[in-house]
Structure formats: C-alpha cells, structure tokens
C-alpha cells in the first residue's frame, strides 16, 4: 500500500461512524493483519457485506468511502444480497466515484482536495488524467445519475438517501 494516502488510523473514527450512520451502515474494524471480510480486492481495501463496511487501521479512506458509496448507489435488490462484490454498471461506478468525492468533505482530515490526490496516487484512472479534472470538467453524467436517483439535489447537496 502507498504511504501517500490517508488511512482510517489517520482520522477521527467518530466522524467516519457519523457519516456511515446517515446511511444505516455500520463500521467494523478488523484487527491489524487480519484479512478484511467482504474486501473485493483484498489487502487493506475496505470490505462490504450486508450493511457493514469492514476496515482495518491501514484501510485507505478513499476505499472506505468508495465501498460506502457502492452501498448507497446500488438498488435495493442488490443491497439485500450484498456480499463482497457490489457489481453495478459503468454509469453507477462513475456515480460512486463522484459521490465519494462529495462525501469526503464529511471527514475533516480528508476533504475533496485530499480525496483528489489520494485517488490519483492510488491509481484511479480518468480520461482527463486526474480525479479533480474529471470531477470538475467531465462528470456531468455522474452528477445527473446521482440526481436522477435521489442521491443529490440539483444543487449538488447530498440527500443522505439510498437508491431505491
């Protein structure tokens, strides 16, 4: 794992739990060096089973928020049977990335600027070369998807609702 990204151990756990509770999600911290249940990629990447986000101290915040946003963006049917693979299509994946950037402001140690940097450092790829350029110049489709599914308002404010 890169040392250039913000991890769970770098943040106030209360702010993370507060954000997750807005979506009726529970945070479960695994012990150091334990495998993370529900982690699609393994290693330090966050896991997702039912309404539980699994992390370790070394889990990147961008990963925790990405899995959280998968839960928010998936439909109810997929949410009912969720275990590790959030699935979803291209448009939903873009919406997940967009929403994780919006929600990064809920974690004081993170914020958007840090999220952009961490996404770039971790290897997220965008047509325009960076997460920030994509978000600011090429993500209208993701914004519309989130709005059409009731996850953000027209103004871009997060509704803290789950997709139906």
Phi, psi of 54 (to 5 degrees): -100, 135
**Long-range contacts of the stretch 28-36 (C-beta < 8 A, 24+):** 28/52, 28/53, 28/54, 28/55, 29/55, 29/56, 29/57, 30/54, 30/55, 30/56, 31/56, 32/56, 32/57, 32/58
Average confidence (pLDDT) over 58-71? 98
Question: How confident is the model at residue 133, as a pLDDT?
Answer: 96
Please choose, from the candidates 46, 61, 58, 53, the residue with its C-alpha nearest in 3D space to the C-alpha of residue 22.
53
Quote the CA–CA distance of 112 and 115 in Å, as a whole number.
5
Quote the CA–CA distance of 9 and 28 in Å, as a whole number.
13
Each domain of the chain, given as residue ranges in start order, spans 8-148
Question: What is the residue whose two structure tokens read 């609702």?
Answer: 161
pLDDT surpasses 80 at 1 = no
H helix or E strand, kind and range, residue 44? none
Residue ranges of alpha helices (H) inside 3-80 are: 13-21, 61-73, 76-80
On whether the pTM is more than 0.75, the answer is yes
Quote the CA–CA distance of 156 and 164 in Å, as a whole number.
19
pLDDT surpasses 60 at 43 = yes
Average confidence (pLDDT) over 122-143? 93
């Amino acid at each position: 794992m890169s040392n250039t990204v913000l991890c769970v151990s770098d943040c106030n756990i209360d702010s993370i739990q507060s954000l997750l509770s807005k979506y009726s999600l529970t945070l479960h911290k695994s012990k150091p060096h334990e495998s993370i249940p529900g982690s699609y990629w393994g290693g330090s990447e966050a896991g997702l089973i039912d309404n539980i986000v699994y992390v370790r101290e070394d889990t990147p915040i961008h990963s925790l928020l990405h899995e959280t946003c998968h839960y928010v963006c998936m439909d109810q049917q997929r949410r009912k049977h969720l275990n590790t693979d959030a699935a979803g299509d291209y448009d939903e994946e873009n919406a997940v990335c967009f929403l994780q950037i919006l929600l990064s402001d809920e974690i004081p140690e993170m914020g958007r600027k840090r999220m952009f940097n961490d996404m770039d450092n971790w290897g997220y790829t965008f047509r325009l070369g960076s997460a920030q350029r994509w978000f600011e110049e090429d993500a209208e489709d993701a914004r519309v998807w989130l709005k059409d599914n009731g996850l953000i308002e027209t103004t871009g404010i997060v509704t803290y609702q789950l997709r139906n």
